[in-house]
Chains A and B, each alone.
Chain A
Amino acid sequence: MNDSEQAPIIPEEGEVGFVEYQDFVSKEPFKFVSGGNLPELTLRYETYGHLNAAKDNAILICHALSGDHHCAGVHGIEERKQGWWNFMVGPGKPIDTTRYFVICSNVLGGCQGSTGPGSINPETGKAYQLDFPKLTVQDMVKAQSLLVDHFGIDRLHAVIGGSMGGMQTVQWAIDFPDRVGRYIALACGARHTAQAIAFNDTGRQAIISDPAWQQGSYDPEHGPDQGLAVARMMAHITYLSDVGMESKFGRKRRNADESKEHFEVEFEVESYLRYQGASFVSRFDANSYLYLTKALDRFDLHGPESLDATLSTVTAPGLVVGFTSDWLYPPQGNREIVESLLRLGKHATYAELAMDFGHDSFLVRAPRLYELIQRFLIR
C-alpha cells in the first residue's frame, strides 16, 4: 500500500518527569544591538535528556511571549501543570529526550529568572526597570548563544520555537548559520502586521495608563496589575480564534443570577479571560511585557534592505508551519519566509495545519504536527 509510509510512528511515550531549573550567569558585559549594555547576565534554563560525547544532539527550544524555560515535566508533586510543551518533549515524543539533549531558557528581557527590566542592576543595587536597554529578538538570540557556548556545543542539532520563539528560531538561522543544523519555526512571521502592532500597543497603553505603573518605577509588590491584566486579556483573545472561542464558550453563562451587579462576570468567556488576566499578573512583570512586545513589533526581516537580503545568510534546512485559524500571525506571514528562502535556493519547507485554535494551535497536540516535527528532526 503506497500510503503506509504516512502512518505516524507512535512509539512508547514517557514523561520527562521531575525537572529543576538552573541559572547560567555570564559575568561578561552584554552589548545590545541598540548599543545598550548589561554588566552581567543571567539566563534561567532547563534541560532534558543527555548531551552526547560529540555534543551534536542538542535542540534549543525558544519560548513565546508569555512562556518560559519550563517546557516539559513538573517541578514537584504539588505542581498540577506540566511544562508548556510537555506533549512535544519527552521520551518517545517528537522532541525525543532519549535521543536529544533539549535546552530551553527564559528569554533575555523576560521575568522568570533571566535578566530583564525587573532584575537588580549590580552597579546600582536597584532594578533596571526603564534603564533596561532597548531589546530586540537579535539580543535574545545572542544571549542564548552564550548559554549554548556554556555547554561547549558548537552546533545545535535543531532550533525550534513558536510565535516569538519562531522569530528567535529564524533569527538563529540568520545570525548563526554555522551553529544551526536545522530549524522549525511555528506560527510566526517575518514582521508584525499593523494589526499585531495595534494590539500590542493597546496592551502597552493599558499598562502605561495604570497609575501604579509610575513611569516604570513601580515597587514590584504594587505594580500596574490592572493594566497588565487587561493587556493580557486582550492579547489572549488574539491567541484564540472566533471558531475556537465559540465552541469553547459560546454564550454559556457563568452566573444566571440576574440580581447580581450588572457588570459582574456573566458569561463564561468573561470569567475565563479575567482569570487569565489575574493569573498572568502573578507571574509576569509589566515592564518585561512592555519590552518584549516592543521587541516583537520592531522585529522586521524585511529590513534594512529586503527579506531576501536578510535571509541570504541562512544555510540550514528549515521547516515553517502556519495555522489556518491564526489571525495574529496569519499563514501568509509564515509563507513569505519560505517563499523568500526558496527564491534564494535554500532548503525550506512550508506546511499549513487546519486547526481551530488560532495562534495557540502550536500549543495544542495534533497528530499531524507531531508527525511533521518528528520527521523533520530525524531527517
Chain B
Amino acid sequence: MSPNDKKRQADSQIIARWVHEGDRVLDLGCGRGILLEYLQQKKSIYGVGVDIDLGKIISCVKRGVPAYQGDIGAILASFPDDSFDHVILSRTVEHLEDADAILAEGLRVGRHVTVGFVNKGFWINRLNALLHGKRTVNEVYPKPWYESMPSNPFSVAEFEAFCDARKIVIENRVYLSGDWLNECRKLPNLLAGYAIYDLSSID
C-alpha cells in the first residue's frame, strides 16, 4: 500500500472500531468500495455503497460490494427509519449540496452516522490560505481547483457547532494529526488534520 493509500484509508480502522460484527452499513459517497470491502472482511457486515460515478460503481462490482449509482438524497428517501446500523459519509459531507438535510436523513435511516472530513481549521490549511491565498491541497486532494469536485470545506469547530445546534449527539470522536495516522489530543480545531465522528440522534 502506497503512503497515499495509507492516508486515504486512515479512517477505515477507526470506523471499524465503531462497527459491530454483522452490522448493516450504508456508505454514501463510497468511491471504489474500499472501506466497505475492508468492513466486510473485518466485521462481516452487510454493506451497500452509493456513488454518482459509474467508474466507481464498476470498481465496487469488482470488489463484490453492492453499490447504487445515483443521488444520495434519493436513495436515503427510499429507506425506512433505522434501516442501517451505520450510515457513513467519509469525505462526502463537504461535497453535498444540502449537507444539513442529508445528515438529518442519514440519522433517520441509520442508528449511527459516521462523518469523516479534512479539517479546514488545521494550521497548515490556514497558513495556505493566509500566506498563499490557496485552497487546501494535500496528498489525498492533490488536484487544483479546476479539476476537483465542488467542495465546501469546514472546520472541526464549525462541525461541532452544527451538531450542537441540531442536537446531534457525538457518541465518539477521533482527531488525527496532520499525518492522518496519529491521534491528535489537544487543540483539535488547530492541530487536527482529519476528524471522524460517530453520531446519533436523541431518541
Contacts and interface: CB of A to CB of B under 8 A. Distances in A.
- Same complex for A and B? Answer yes
A256 to B, nearest CB: 43
Given A351-B61, A371-B58, 18 more contacts: A2-B8, A2-B32, A6-B59, A336-B78, A342-B75, A342-B78, A343-B78, A343-B79, A345-B46, A347-B66, A350-B70, A351-B54, A351-B58, A352-B54, A353-B54, A368-B54, A379-B61, A379-B62
Nearest to B64: A379
B123 interface: no
Interface residues of A, number: 26
Given A2-B5, A339-B78, A343-B79, A368 B62 contact: no
A349 B62 contact: no
Contacts of A79: none
B61 A349 contact: yes
Nearest to A336: B78
A235 interface: no
6 contacts: A342-B78, A343-B80, A349-B60, A349-B68, A350-B69, A372-B57
Interface of B: 2, 4-5, 8, 24, 32, 46, 48, 54-55, 57-62, 64, 66-70, 75, 78-80, 83
Contact of A6 (B8, B24, B58, B80): B58
Main SS of the interface on chain B?
mixed
Contact of A372 (B2, B32, B58, B66): B58
B54 A349 contact: no
A338 interface: yes
Nearest to A347: B66
Contact of B61 (A2, A319, A335, A339): A319
A375 B56 CA distance: 13
Interface of A: 2, 5-6, 317, 319, 335-336, 338-339, 342-343, 345, 347-354, 368, 371-372, 375-376, 379
A352 B69 contact: yes
Contacts, number: 70
A368 B64 contact: no
B58 A368 contact: yes
A313 B79 CA distance: 19
Pairs A-B, 3 closest by C-beta atoms: A339-B78, A375-B61, A350-B68
B55 A6 contact: yes
B70 A375 contact: no
B140 to A, nearest CB: 11
Contacts of A368: 54-55, 58
A352 to B, nearest CB: 5
A338 B68 contact: yes
Contact of A349 (B4, B66, B79): B66
B6 to A, nearest CB: 12
Contacts of A371: 58
Contacts of A354: 54
B61 A343 contact: no
Nearest to A340: B78
